[in-house]
């Protein structure tokens, strides 16, 4: 379980995260919903040791989490909004390179792991192609596979549909649900309503660095009137 307690972060004396708290169990999806600039991506960047924070506590599996150690041990993985793939490398090399450099795997073992992941994500036939020849959806699957190669306990996806054709939202949702089925703790930031309609998740609506309303997705869609702030965001009214 990932537990966040009273996390705060400021930029230039402006609160970007303001005393937020939440829990996400293994095999659960937490979706952070809200407009750009409300602190969603900053939260994920903090968890991946890409930003510092001023106050609060991060606990993983009932132990305080040292983010530097978590980074070194690859406990938390990130799938970036623009994928951040190595465009000059082949599909397979995108995974083997990370395994060799970050996990200190030898080339033989790295190749076996990469091929197994590419097979699971339907990309094995693309292994020797340059990344530039992949579609947007294929690039995202590769980015997820590369993240999973380091065996994180928590997987973060930042705006996973923003760089894709809207028609691919269903495929993205399936990929995220599969992570949940594999017992990962999954955190997703989005402002894409179509995505949360397809996920079994907990919705956290953020505004001005705060979590202003939260509920299970199935509860919201069954009784939207009970969650006026989420409903206002979803309907735009």
In whole angstroms, what is the distance from residue 179 CA to residue 149 CA? 13
Q: Tell me how far CA of residue 9 lies from CA of 17, 119, 156, 213, in angstroms.
A: 5, 40, 18, 20
Q: What tokens appear for 116 in the block?
A: 């197994």
Q: What tokens appear for 209 in the block?
A: 């660095």
Instruction: Name the one residue in this structure whose structure tokens are 């596979």.
Output: 145
- Kindly give the confidence (pLDDT) of every residue in the chain, 237 residues in length, as a single tens digit, with 9 standing for 90 and above: 999 999 999 998 889 999 999 999 999 999 999 988 899 999 999 999 999 999 999 999 999 999 998 888 999 999 998 899 999 999 999 999 999 999 999 999 999 999 999 999 999 999 999 999 999 889 999 999 999 999 999 999 999 988 788 778 888 899 999 999 999 999 999 988 999 999 999 999 999 999 999 999 999 999 999 999 999 999 987
Q: What tokens appear for 92 in the block?
A: 């397979």
Residues across the chain: 237
Q: Report how far Cα 135 is from the mean position of its chain's Cα atoms.
A: 20
H or E element at residue 235 = helix 228-235
Backbone dihedral region of 208: left (phi > 0), alpha (psi from -120 to 50 degrees) or beta? left
In whole angstroms, what is the distance from residue 190 CA to residue 197 CA? 12
Other C-beta atoms lying within 10 Å of the C-beta of residue 193: 14
Domains of the chain as residue ranges with CATH:
2-75+152-235 (3.40.50.300), 87-151 (no CATH)
Instruction: Return the ∠ at Cα 26 (arms to 20 and 30), rounded to 5°.
Output: 40
Q: Can you tell me whether residue 108 is helix, strand or coil? A: helix
Q: What tokens appear for 223 in the block?
A: 């009784």
pTM summary value: 0.92
Q: Tell me how far CA of residue 108 lies from CA of 74, 84, 90, 114, in angstroms.
A: 21, 24, 16, 10
Is residue 146 a contact partner of residue 95, using CB atoms and an 8 Å limit? yes
């Amino acid at each position: 379980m990932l537990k966040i307690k009273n996390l705060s972060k400021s930029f230039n004396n402006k609160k970007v995260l303001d005393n937020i708290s939440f829990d996400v169990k293994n095999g659960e999806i937490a979706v952070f919903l809200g407009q750009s600039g409300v602190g969603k991506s900053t939260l994920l960047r903090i968890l991946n040791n890409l930003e510092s924070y001023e106050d609060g506590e991060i606990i993983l599996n009932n132990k305080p989490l040292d983010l530097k150690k978590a980074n070194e041990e690859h406990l938390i993985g990130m799938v970036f909004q623009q994928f951040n793939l190595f465009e000059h490398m082949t599909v397979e090399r995108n995974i083997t390179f990370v395994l060799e450099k970050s996990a200190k795997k030898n080339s033989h073992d790295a190749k076996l792991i990469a091929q197994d992941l590419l097979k699971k994500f339907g990309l094995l036939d693309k292994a020797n192609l340059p990344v530039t020849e992949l579609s947007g959806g294929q690039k995202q699957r590769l980015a997820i596979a590369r993240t999973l190669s380091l065996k994180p306990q928590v997987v973060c996806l930042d705006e996973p549909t923003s760089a894709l054709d809207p028609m691919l939202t269903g495929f993205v949702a399936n990929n995220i649900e599969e992570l949940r089925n594999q017992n990962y703790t999954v955190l997703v930031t989005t402002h894409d309503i179509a995505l949360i309609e397809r996920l079994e998740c907990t919705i956290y609506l953020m505004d001005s660095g705060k979590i202003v309303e939260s509920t299970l997705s199935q509860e919201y869609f069954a009784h939207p009137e009970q969650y006026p702030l989420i409903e206002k965001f979803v309907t735009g009214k």
